[in-house]
Amino acid sequence: MSETWPELAFEGLEWESRYGDVGPRAARRGRPRERYTAAVPPAIASLPLAVDHATATLADEASTALARFDSELGAELAPFSSLLLRSEAAASSQIEHLTASARQIFTAEIGAPAERNASEIVSNTRAMRTAIALSDQLTAETVLEMHRVLMEHDHHHEAGAFRREPVWVGTSARSPVGADYVAPAWERVPELVDDVMAFARRIDLPRLAQVAVAHAQFETVHPFTDGNGRTGRALLQAMLRSDELTKNVTVPVSAGLLTDTRGYVAALMAYRQGNIAPIIERVAEACFVAIENARELVADVRRIRQSWAERVTARTDSGVWRALDVVARQPVLNATVLATEMGVAQRNAYPHIAKLVEAGILVSENEYRHGVLYRNDEVLHALDAFAARAGRRR
C-alpha cells in the first residue's frame, strides 16, 4: 500500500429535485432542495508512485509478459491485430452488460442491420482504434475524441463533451442524495481530466502501475454522462501503446478484468480510499489472464487458417490466398468488403468468393435490404469461445 497516495475529499452540494410535488401548491413552493456529498479527487499529476515490493514485482512481471506476447505476434500481425482489438472492445462492453455474438458484431461492422448491443460494441471498437491512433497524444482532447467516436450514434448523451450535470452510483436514478458514490461536481471535470492526462504522460514512473492508477483516477472523475468505463478502458489501451508495453497488437486486458468484475470494482473503491495496490494488482492479473486467453484464440485461428490451405487448390500466386487472409480477420463480409481489403475491383472479388464457397470456407446468406453476406463459422466460433472464457471467473 502506498502511504503517499491521498484519499478522496468530499464536499456538500445542493440538489434541486426534478421530481417534486405537482399542483398549484408545489408551484408556489418551488422544487424541493436537498444536500448531497460529492467526491473531490486529489490532483495526481506530480505525485510519487510508491508501492510495496510484491505489487511492484507483479506489475513488472505483467509488463514483461505483455511485451513478450506482443513481440511474438509481430510477424503475424495482420489477422491477429484486428481480431484482438475487436475482442478487447467486446470484453470492455461486456463489463457494461453489453453482449452480442461475434457474428452479430461483424455483421453490424459492415453496415448490415444489427441489434443495438452489436452496434454499440462496433462503436466501442472504433473508440479503441481511435485510442491506439492517438496514443502519442495523451491529452484531454484525446479523451474527448475517444468518447465522441464511442457515443456518436447515441442520441441520449452528448458525444465528445464533458458532462454538465451530476452523475452517481446508487439505488436511485432520480437523485444523488444518499448514493453510494457521487462523482466530482461537473465544474471540476476539465481541470481533473487535464491533471490525470498530465500524470499519464509522465516518463518517470513504473509503466503498468502508472497505467492502472491513471485508469482508476479517470473512473473516479467520471467525466461523461455515459460511456465512462468504455472510454477509460480505451484510455488504458492507449497508455499501454504509448508506454510501448504493446507495439503491435491490442492485448485484451478487459477480457482479464471480466473474469472478476467484483474484484475490479472493489479495487476502484480501494483506490478512492488511498490504497493504490489493489487496482495495480488487478490490472496486472488481468494482463496474465488476457494473454492466456488470447494465446488460445491465436492458436485456434492459426489452426483454422492452416486447414483452409488444405481445402483450397490454387496457384501459389493466386489472389485467393490473400482473400483467405481477409476472411481470417473479417469472418463476415461481402464482395465490397473483400475487394476493399484486397485493393482490387469488386468484380475481381467474386471469383475468390465463389472458390471459397465451393471449398466450404464461406457460407452465404441473404440479408434483407443488404444483399448477400458471406461468413466463416470457424473463426466466429473461436471468437465466441474467447468471449465465453473471458466471462468465466478464474
For the chain, how many residues are written? 394
Mean pLDDT of 250-267: 94
Using only C-alpha atoms, the chain has a radius of gyration, in whole angstroms, of 23
Helices (H), the chain: 24-29, 53-72, 77-95, 102-109, 116-133, 140-151, 189-200, 207-221, 228-242, 253-258, 261-272, 277-311, 320-329, 335-342, 350-358, 377-390
- Cα(165)–Cα(217) distance, integer angstroms: 19
* pLDDT at residue 2, rounded to an integer: 45
4-58 pLDDT tens trace: 799 999 999 999 876 554 445 545 455 578 899 999 999 999 999 999 999 999 9
53-106 pLDDT tens trace: 999 999 999 999 999 998 888 767 667 888 999 999 999 999 999 999 999 999
Rounded percentage of the chain residues whose pLDDT exceeds 70: 93
| ∠ CA 353-358-360, rounded to 5° | 95
Give the phi and the psi of residue 367 in degrees, each rounded to 5. Answer: -100, 125
* pLDDT at residue 1, rounded to an integer: 41
* pLDDT at residue 23, rounded to an integer: 47
User: The cell 487458417 sits on which residue?
Assistant: 305
Mean pLDDT of 337-359: 96
User: The cell 489493489 sits on which residue?
Assistant: 278
Whole-model pTM: value is 0.91
Give the phi and the psi of residue 15 in degrees, each rounded to 5. Answer: -115, 125
Which cell goes with 140? 484531454
184-217 pLDDT tens trace: 999 999 999 999 999 999 999 999 999 999 999 9
- Asked if the model's pLDDT at residue 224 lies above 90, the reply is yes
Q: Which one, of 119, 103, 121, lies nearest residue 365 by Cα?
A: 103
* pLDDT at residue 113, rounded to an integer: 77
* pLDDT at residue 22, rounded to an integer: 46
- Cα(280)–Cα(236) distance, integer angstroms: 12
Mean residue pLDDT across the chain: 91
If one compares 368 and 383, the residue with the highest pLDDT of the two is 383
* pLDDT at residue 155, rounded to an integer: 86
The torsion region of residue 120 among left (phi > 0), alpha (psi -120 to 50) and beta comes to alpha
User: The cell 454538465 sits on which residue?
Assistant: 164
Neighbours of 335 (CB within 10 A): 18
- The answer to whether 174 and 19 have CB atoms below 8 angstroms apart is yes
* pLDDT at residue 393, rounded to an integer: 63
CB crowding 55-90: b at 16 or more within 10 Å, else e? bbebbeebbebbbebbeebeeeeebbbbbbbbbbbb
- The answer to whether 231 and 143 have CB atoms below 8 angstroms apart is yes
- The answer to whether 8 and 269 have CB atoms below 8 angstroms apart is no
Mean pLDDT of 110-130: 91
121-172 pLDDT tens trace: 999 999 999 999 999 999 999 999 999 999 998 888 999 999 999 999 876 7
